[in-house]
Structure 1
Amino acid sequence: MLASNSFKTTATMTDSIAHQLKQASEGLLFGSETDAPFEVIHWPAQAELTPAKLLQLTEHPPDAPVELRTVDDFFAIATQEEDWHDEEERETVKRFQNLVSVLKQNLSQLQVFRVGNVEIDAYIVGVTDGGDWAGLSTKLVET
């Protein structure tokens, strides 16, 4: 007979993923014209996450512009080590590479939703094993 604690509940799995995302993103700032931290996001399982549904969940106006990106495209600059990087910058690149790895290992159907034009709310969202939506949000400024 299996012990009851050998199975994780959906809530426990989601809490675990949230903890891993918080740990991986702790202290990282996403660089744009402003440097913003990441926040862990979680929404209970629903139908497919469409741009319209995301706008509703995040309380943006229904006509707000939404652009979809891949996770690799969104994090491309942050995860690319350059020859001119100093040791601290190389360490930051490694932390961003780890963050992308944690996202990919724990969430399927990963997408990045960029909401807005100049002041952009970015939502890096995927589906947990339990069917919930989870990920990270951050803010960008692009003029």
Structure 2
Amino acid sequence: MMLKRMLALLSLLLSFPVIAESDCASAFTTLEINACLNEELQDKKDIMQQYLAAAKQRYSDETKVVTAIEAGQSAWEAYKTSHCDSIYTLWMGGTIRVAMTLSCQIDLTEARTHEIWSSYLTYMDSTPAIMPEPELTYE
């Protein structure tokens, strides 16, 4: 997942190809690419917040469950920050460091959204999920 995005970004920065299948197809410079990734990250965060709100709404009558969901989210936020900061440190010597960090945050946010959906918004039987399964764009 991270390796695939890393190789794509590295290739982009070295050979300046167009970003395929993206709203930021014309991004060319490091600053443009970072701005595009920032926009993508914000979109992913907004989606995650929608799923989180739906999960808390589903269990709104169960205070302990909502408190546990919030605690889990706080722990995940701390993990995401720590892990993606380590990616920044890994790439600290190059201009790709911000893009790599943003890609890390995008991947983890997508995975967290899917986990929220799977854990709190689906049922054990064939009852349809409360919200559609969120997209995972990384491999």
Answer whether TM exceeds 0.5 for this pair. Answer: no
Structure (1/2) with the larger helix percentage: 2
TM-score of the superposed pair, with normalisation by structure 1 = 0.31
